[in-house]
Amino acid sequence: MNILVISNFYPPHHIGGYGMLCWEVVNGLLERGHRVTVLAGMHGVATPTSEGHIHRRLTLESDLYFYRPQSAIRYPQVKRRNLAIVQELIQQEQPDFVFIWGMWALTKEVAKEAERLLPGRVVYYLANPWPIDPNLHRSYWDMPANSPWRTAAKQLMRMPIRFWLHEEWQPFNLQFEHVLCCSAAQRDQVLKAWVKMQNCPVVYEGIDLAPYVAQRHRREQRDAEREKARAPLQLLFVGTLAEHKGVHTTIEALGVLSQSELARLHLTILGSGHPHYEKRLHQLVRDRHVAEAVTFHQPIPRAALPNFLGDHDVLLLPSIWEEPLARIMQEGLAAGMVVVGAATGGTAEVIHEGENGLLFPAADATALARQIRRLLADPALCKTLAETGQQNAIALFALPRMIDDIENYLVGIHEATLSHKSLSTVR
């Protein structure tokens, strides 16, 4: 098959697991003999680039960390240019399908243009709720500023901006004729927002399990050494440092624990994010007097992640938003970590309280502290949860299985399309 993939982010210039997953699926389809062309956003590159089958040519709506109001003025021109690029690539590649991944920060008109040019031959893989999220322009102009006078000034500016970009405040409908969802939670969240999706089976994400499962032996050896040395329980957060990820909840939870409990654990926060939020986290550590129990660690190469997870015992997933299906959850489970997550989205779908992990209400630091206490008090529980979680990861999250499911789905649509063309020719 000949497939054109469109994604907002694409490795190595990606944010979170969605873009990484897209890259892995593209490589898997290429290895199986399919022709795949990638059209991606220009995140991480200063100018449009084309290297082999990868074209980083689509302009994002604005800076992702610091919105610039002037980007609203340029947006209609940006949108026209993006649509022209989509038209050019479809004309040039003549794909059997357009396979759309992340669209956040990339105008949804790109997907609509693909549907117009290839009716019935656009497939989506949803691993975040971009169909129901407002774009960057609407998010910025609808959000209050950080002071009354700035809010008032922003409201005055908002009137002409909203007139200029009036389409961004209107309902936006896509056909969504063929949609694969990363979890039932993600599918249901979008459907509840009255987005009509005609065909939306769940295909769980997948990872390369081998380097994570291999941590089992390292962990067993380290656990034995830790029991002798009474080493602290190693807690870990991995991800983007952003409000919706709930990183602050982990620090607040440590603040609930006693000094004797804090002496028996250590939290590592691995990641980077918006400078303002990072500053807030560091201040929160000082305010809660937990500095000795917390380490901030800069992002590491993905190849180093399995061993890093193997050096820790408990993975914290404190997301406030409805996490569709966190990649780091899959990796943590596969590495034999105990997963303690907020009971939202795909996390609550996979983690079953007391069976393969622990859950707590999102943003509830006291409840999270309670679950940490349980693990401190019961090493046998830690072992049971970790073993069951790893077995679940092996059964659910193998990357070859995911690529099989996607390939079979695409082949089914392709065969139906060819059959329809044959019938039309006979008539």
What would the pLDDT profile of 271-294 be if each residue is shown by its tens digit? 999 999 999 999 999 999 999 999
Percent of the chain with pLDDT over 70: 97
Mean pLDDT on 1-14: 97
Dihedral sign, Cα of residue 335, residue 336, residue 338, residue 340: positive
**Domains of the chain as residue ranges with CATH:** 2-206+399-426 (3.40.50.2000), 210-396 (3.40.50.2000)
User: How do 265-270 and 122-126 pair as beta strands?
Assistant: unpaired
CA dist., res. 59 & res. 46, Å (int): 10
Tokens of 209: 């399990």
The answer, yes or no, to whether residue 427 has pLDDT greater than 60, is no
Comparing 220 with 335, the larger pLDDT belongs to: 335
State residue 112's pLDDT score: 96
Comparing 52 with 417, the larger pLDDT belongs to: 52
State residue 58's pLDDT score: 98
State residue 228's pLDDT score: 67
**pTM of model > 0.85:** yes
The answer, yes or no, to whether residue 16 has pLDDT greater than 90, is no
Mean pLDDT on 20-48: 97
Confidence tier at 230 by pLDDT (50, 70, 90): confident
Average pLDDT, the chain: 94
Mean pLDDT on 67-71: 90
CA dist., res. 337 & res. 392, Å (int): 12
Q: Does residue 284 contact residue 248 with C-beta atoms inside 8 Å?
A: yes
* pLDDT digit string, tens, across residues 82-141: 999 999 999 999 999 999 999 999 989 999 999 999 999 999 999 999 999 988 999 999
Confidence tier at 405 by pLDDT (50, 70, 90): very high
Mean pLDDT on 49-58: 97
Confidence tier at 420 by pLDDT (50, 70, 90): low
CA dist., res. 195 & res. 7, Å (int): 20
Kindly list the distances between the CA atom of residue 113 and the CA atoms of 87, 90, 99, in Å, as whole numbers in the listed order.
8, 10, 13
* pLDDT digit string, tens, across residues 290-312: 999 999 999 999 999 999 999 99
State residue 426's pLDDT score: 45
Kindly list the distances between the CA atom of residue 382 and the CA atoms of 232, 371, 406, in Å, as whole numbers in the listed order.
14, 11, 35
The answer, yes or no, to whether residue 358 has pLDDT greater than 70, is yes
Kindly list the distances between the CA atom of residue 307 and the CA atoms of 218, 221, 286, 296, in Å, as whole numbers in the listed order.
9, 14, 29, 18
